Copies of this chain bind each other. A is one copy, B any other.
Amino acid sequence: MQDVARLAGVSVSTVSYVLTGVRPVSDTTRQRVQAAMDTLGYQRNALARGLASRRSHILALLFPAIERGLSGTALEFVTSAAETARRHGYHLVLWPTGADDEAETRDLVRQRLVDGVVVMEVKLHDPRVVELQRGDTPFTLIGRTADPAGLPYADIDFDATVRDALDHLTGLGHRHIGLLSHSRGSLQAGYGPTVRVLAAFEREARQRGLLTAIRHCDETADAGRAAVAELFAERPDLTALVTLNDNATFGAVAQIVDGGRRIPGDVSVLSVVSSPQVGALSHPRLTTMAAPGARLGRLGVESLLARIEGPPAVAATGASTLHELIPCRLDVGATTGPAPTTS
């Protein structure tokens, strides 16, 4: 910066001010400074800037390492978050949290390296969120805790998603509908999608008077096969299956076919919180409801930036706190069709 100042014949503070723009600078000097910066290829030192301004322009993305192997939509989310951050002049650091989520979260914010935190894969009772609430670092959740009233979050609208899914199926005449969900472990761990889809499914099915059967299973095709076998053993009259588990879905489809049932002639399959790309891997192409990964990534980062850069009042009062619920979008493939006439 000194070099730039010298070359432009001004003081360092003037250079700083043309960069920050917080105080008026005459056009002529501004141009001289700009020219000097261009010829020198000058870029502000990010560390010094952060130290002096108490703003690092770095955000952290907290995500649980390894568990459930992070799906494809997770990658879409991460990419979208990184791009959004960058578009606003911010960096995004990836912060895998392991077993001891709480301590790791605390250490992260105390380093004062990041201006804000985006928390992925939030659980109903998430120690990371508890820890963040204690500190003064702004954060937003992707997903929600059990009681997210005062917290800014963006999440999938599981209620609407399940409603839309059942609308699609009942519209085709189905009345006996199964649910193939994530593992029972994820349910007990308070993993949002598992818990909320289950609750919504049970509620909606009751309201509509549907007959249902529910199975939880691990994230593998083999587990999906086994679960579906049990499902049809329990309720052979199922004509449709809603799945919440990409890997298991493929096993489920195979098992249904192997069991002598035709898709969608005898059984319809609808994979929710998935994506058309994944659906296209199946043959026939799966009917899916796409998780809004990219949209959540963008929303999460933008609302976080609003809290960081907005007037202090916003951060303090929590006014305009983001509460965004986005449903999955239905993409009708070839695995859902009219219910068989039971005549």
Contacts and interface: CB of A to CB of B under 8 A. Distances in A.
Copies, count: 2
B50 A47 contact: yes
A41 interface: yes
Interface in A192-251: 220-222, 247, 250-251
Contact of A250 (B50, B69, B281): B281
A96 B83 CA distance: 6
A93 interface: yes
Interface stretch (A14-22, A71-79, A180-188): A71-79
A277 interface: yes
Interface residues of A, number: 53
Nearest to A281: B250
Nearest to A104: B86
Interface in A275-297: 277, 280-283, 285
Nearest to A81: B94
A247 B280 contact: yes
Interface string A247-259: 1001101100100
B70 A75 contact: yes
B221 A281 contact: yes
A254 to B, nearest CB: 4
Contacts of A95: 82, 86, 91
A50 B49 CA distance: 12
Contact of A96 (B44, B76, B82): B82
Interface of A: 41-48, 50-51, 56, 58, 61, 65-66, 69-70, 72, 74-76, 78-79, 82-83, 86, 91-96, 106-107, 110-113, 220-222, 247, 250-251, 253-254, 257, 277, 280-283, 285
Q: Which 7 pairs across A and B sit closest by C-beta, in order of nearness?
A: A43-B110, A46-B113, A254-B283, A82-B94, A250-B281, A46-B111, A47-B50
